[in-house]
Chains A and B, each alone.
Chain A
Amino acid sequence: MGKILGSQAVVKSLLEEGLDTVFGYPGGAVIPLYDSLFDYINEGKIRHVLARHEQAAAHEAQAYAQITGKVGVCIVTSGPGATNAITGIANANMDSVPMVVITGQVGSTFLGTDAFQETDVFGLSMPIAKWSCQITRPGDIADSFAKAFYIAVSGRPGVVVIEITKDALTHETEFHYKKAPVLRSYAPYPEIDQENIAAAAEMINNAKRPLALIGHGVLIARAEKAVREMLEKAGIPFGMTLMGLTALPSDHPLCIGMLGMHGSYASNKLTNEADLIIAIGMRFSDRVTGRLSGYAKKAKVLHIEIDKSEIDKNVETDLAVHADLKTALSYLTPMLEKKSNKQWRAEFDKFYKMEYEQVIRHDTQPGEGIIQPGEPVDIISRKTKGEAIVVTDVGQNQMVAARYYKFKTPNTFLTSGGLGTMGFGLPAAVGAAVAQSQKPVILFTGDGGFQMNEQELGTIIQEHLPVKIVILNNSVLGMVRQWQTMFNGGRHSATNLINPDFVTLAAAYGIKARKVADRAGLDPAIDEMLDLDGPYLLDIEVDKDMKVMPFIAPGSTVDEVKLC
């Protein structure tokens, strides 16, 4: 094979990895790369989604990755393009989503000279990416990309940042691509230790009150079925983290709800009554554990986890299985005794009833007064039969959507968990709609977070994406205001918003929209939204004084969870 340009080598690397969709935004340092993409885009071999901001491009690539299971690819220019993408990089990496971000860089002879649009992206990205590399020679492109894609997607996935100098794009090179290179410093899937698995099985078999904590790792490892078999065989009640929420159906008989700060009353109350905690693909985030010194006091802890550095990091384990979940469970489940733990499971019901009476009923069916944010979520959950792809922003809207949408299918919920990035929602919905067209994509967002990336309405019309935007509009930064109400004596400092008319805004983009302020209008508006073949913005005026409950106040233990 003859020589090709570095920029062509980049495009060929993408094609070698089977990727046909990229998200990005051009600029000086990546003009050569966009030139090489030009023909592929025109011939329909590569779809390039032009975001309206690099942060959004990164969130879109992340959502695309989560829905397709492929690596999300995002191309940005040097300097401001790269710094704009930083939030998106940190967000995806915190939530273990495989992504390769290609950033331009000034020519290699200008490195370190404060040249125009030079930022040390290689250095900047180090603490927030799984791996970063800098390419200054076109001959390094094939190997670096093969390595990047392999690292991004394997083991505990994450973001790889590739910074590539302009001259590396414009000079010629040979091109030989070898996928998934063996790296001696990187063995992402640990060997299974049979004795270790046997010890774990014994621990589970001996437990009288086991509780499983299901995390995002279950979805990442594609181990939903394996986990389900295990839990059903051993009759283990389970809670799911925010990120693991769709691993099993919300209405599974063993499901005791979401874990953590705004999780179910039952799961939090009884975490400290369990005699065995089985953590499966989760990392004991502080949002899940509450105060650590009062966490899982009566329980032994068994942690099944692929990232060794997560083991014993926040919660000390009694036994750890350092392994890929699916592999580990294929050995573990056959060793488990069949049980139902009926009585133990029944203990959770009492707390569910209390939560239903004191919180859920009012949140979803108050019957009178101003609309509660839980109502549209509940209606949409029923109308879509739990089969939509639900995307959220951050804040009350996020917690309400997580609590009241009843999920049926794995991997149908996108949210910003680790970083809690306001502005994630709209771009993530864009990415989900690019990734697939079978399921409706429904975004629940606050009016605050929506305005952090509302420019992506432009991407929606350019790409003809049927995203359904539901603004739970309380005219305040709801979640912060809730804290101010609860902990700052109601001093609502800097949380009121004067908003634009979102319906007019949507109209400027040619997007159909409606505002609803009364309960009677809710149902027909939702029908109109769901029936329309195209994007839709539904602006719903909701209660600004609503508080997301239950709540584990900061510094409290899980069993100190409050209902009001």
Chain B
Amino acid sequence: MNKTIDEEPRQYTVTVFTEDKVGMLNRITIVFTRRHLNIDSLTTSESEIKGIFRYTIVTKCTHSLIKKVVDQIEKLTEVLRACYYEEDDVIAQEIALYKISTRNLTKRDKSMEDIIREYNARILDIEDGFIVIEKTGFKRETQKLFEQLKPYGILQFARSGRVAVTKPIEELTDYLEALAQAARTSNKIRNWKLTNVD
């Protein structure tokens, strides 16, 4: 009666906020590893609040599984908050760098200049023998540019993990206030338990 039928795997963005401690990344990824889940991309940086780190993790799985994974991450001490978002709920970008050989630069019908303009990319560096192009956007956009540049000979390609902000408006500062309140309540209950032993 209470069993839900498992749905199709979908892409989820998980954001995790943690204290600045050695080993946090390891502890978070262990939760994925234990469930045999692949991490498609991962980025981490200090958040808007000093001393609190933000992890953005993209993974593909069912809804019931992502809920359990996020609960198990949030359970980790020193994790302040873990949430998952559907694709519609995040604004996300990735940055891609393409190192292109200059050897074939002029031999193509479409000029490199046109491509760069069309894709809203830019030239980051020009050196003897190669140029480096940068493009920020959705994965499908950086991927499409990749296909376009292929004929020129891509010497190197690197794409960042996803950087994302989320639409639902509960900001971290508000949440920290709620956490502080929860810690105070927890202490009250703890004291009650310590004095009420039967």
Contact = CB atoms under 8 A, between A and B. Distances in A.
Contacts of B180: 184
Nearest to A298: B1
B134 interface: no
Size category of the binding interface on chain B: 35 or more
Judged by DSSP, the binding face of A is loop
Interface in B9-56: 18-19, 22-23, 26-27, 30, 34
Contacts of A317: 2
A269 interface: no
Interface stretch (B93-101, B109-117, B187-195): B187-195
B6 to A, nearest CB: 11
A225 B2 contact: no
Interface in A96-123: 122-123
Contacts of B23: 122-123, 126, 132, 134
Given A183-B183, A191-B182, A222-B197, A134 B22 contact: yes
Interface in A416-460: none
A191 B1 contact: no
Interface string A294-316: 00111111000001110111011
Contacts of A327: 189, 192-193
Interface in B158-198: 176, 179-180, 182-187, 189-190, 192-193, 196-198
B3 interface: yes
Given A185-B19, A309-B74, A324-B193, A316 B3 contact: yes
Contacts of A182: 183-184, 187
Contacts of B75: 307-309
Given A190-B182, A222-B197, A309-B71, A185 B1 contact: no
Nearest to A292: B3
A185 B187 contact: no
A189 B186 contact: yes
B156 interface: no
A184 B4 CA distance: 34
A205 interface: no
Contacts of A299: 1-2
Nearest to A314: B68
A293 interface: yes
Interface in B75-127: 75, 77-80
Contacts of A151: 77
Nearest to B81: A185
A189 B190 CA distance: 7
B67 A326 contact: no
B3 A131 contact: no
A318 interface: yes
Contact of A316 (B4, B176, B198): B4
A185 B186 CA distance: 12
B1 A183 contact: no
Given A123-B26, A187-B185, A309-B75, A297 B1 contact: yes
A329 to B, nearest CB: 12
B193 A190 contact: no
Given A127-B30, A222-B198, A187 B186 contact: yes
Nearest to A309: B71
A315 B193 contact: no
Contacts of A134: 22-23
B77 A185 contact: yes
Interface in A352-367: none
B148 interface: no
Contact of A300 (B2, B78, B193): B2
Nearest to A225: B198
Interface of A: 122-123, 126-127, 130-132, 134, 151, 154, 180, 182-192, 221-222, 225, 292-293, 296-301, 307-309, 311-313, 315-318, 324, 326-327
13 contacts: A127-B34, A132-B23, A184-B180, A185-B79, A186-B183, A187-B183, A187-B186, A191-B185, A221-B193, A296-B2, A308-B74, A313-B68, A316-B4
Considering the complex of A and B, which 8 residue pairs feature the smallest CB-CB distances, nearest first?
A189-B189, A187-B182, A309-B71, A187-B186, A189-B186, A191-B185, A316-B2, A309-B75
Given A307-B75, A309-B71, A312-B64, 8 more contacts: A127-B30, A131-B77, A180-B190, A182-B183, A184-B183, A185-B80, A190-B186, A222-B193
